[in-house]
Chains A and B, each alone.
Chain A
Amino acid sequence: GENVEQHPSTLSVQEGDSAVIKCTYSDSASNYFPWYKQELGKRPQLIIDIRSNVGEKKDQRIAVTLNKTAKHFSLHITETQPEDSAVYFCAARTPTGGTSYGKLTFGQGTILTVHP
């Protein structure tokens, strides 16, 4: 099955700096890669996603890049703010059979701390 590795496990930055979280996946058939943000005691919430036919996607201060050849994708947060502090999870979806549906496999998570 799919295996997703996420690094680093913890990341500490100063407010205003950039933060980068990287994930690698094992199954070349995976075609959908979401990123979730989970604040302490809250539910995971989707912040950005990318599909395998796109190399980069940006939404204000957040961007995701995908390298299908190397089977890795990254989350970039620019101009970090204290409210960006949370746990971030990457995931990969591998299609099942003839449908576009597939189960999500999550990375282990990155604890991001943004210091004021």
Chain B
Amino acid sequence: NAGVTQTPKFRVLKTGQSMTLLCAQDMNHEYMYWYRQDPGMGLRLIHYSVGEGTTAKGEVPDGYNVSRLKKQNFLLGLESAAPSQTSVYFCASSYWGGGRTDTQYFGPGTRLTVL
């Protein structure tokens, strides 16, 4: 049971390049999330999904897109990277809130630098 995994662990992009971050979970969780973590600002929600085929905007969605084609995977895309997107990105997942634990389990993170 690997929990939540993220690919890649590190990436350096040039301004304007695109990339996709992959999150995978093997806990059969319904809900998945993408956060970014910047110094002094905690974790801010980018996008989230409440089930396969669904996505919704979080607190800071601009410049990002997501897809949840399979229940176990949640992809985060940057179409045209900007230096302001330099950050550590965390994926998380949780059970459906009703009647079960609400604990969000985090992946190991992806450190992205945009030059």
Q: Tell me if B103 is interfacial: C-beta within 8 Å of chain A.
A: yes
Are B42 and A93 in contact, with the CB atoms below 8 A? no
Size category of the binding interface on chain A: 20 to 34
Q: How far is the CA of A1 from the CA of B58 in the complex (A)?
A: 11
Residues of B within 8 A of A9 (CB): 40
> Which residues between 7 and 39 of chain A lie within 8 Å of chain B, taking CB atoms?
9, 32, 34
Q: Once A and B bind, how many residue pairs between them come within 8 Å at the CB atom?
A: 52
Q: Name the A residues within 8 Å of B106 (CB-CB).
A: 43-45
Residue of B nearest to A107 (CB): B42
Contacts of A42 in B (CB 8 A): 108
Interface with A: B66-74, B76-84, B94-102, which one?
A: B94-102
Question: B26 → chain A, closest Cβ, in Å?
Answer: 16
Whether the Cβ atoms of B40 and A101 lie closer than 8 Å is no
Whether the pair A102, B97 counts as a contact (CB closer than 8 A) is: yes
B residues neighboring A (CB under 8 Å): 31, 40-45, 48, 50, 58-59, 90, 96-98, 102-109
Task: Report which A residues bind B (CB closer than 8 A).
Answer: 1, 6, 9, 32, 34, 42-46, 49, 89, 93, 99-109
Closest 9 CB pairs of A and B: A101-B97, A106-B42, A100-B97, A43-B106, A106-B43, A108-B42, A44-B106, A100-B98, A46-B103
Instruction: Given contacts A45-B106, A99-B98, list 11 more A-B pairs with CB under 8 A.
Output: A32-B102, A43-B107, A43-B109, A44-B43, A46-B105, A99-B97, A100-B98, A103-B48, A105-B45, A105-B59, A109-B40
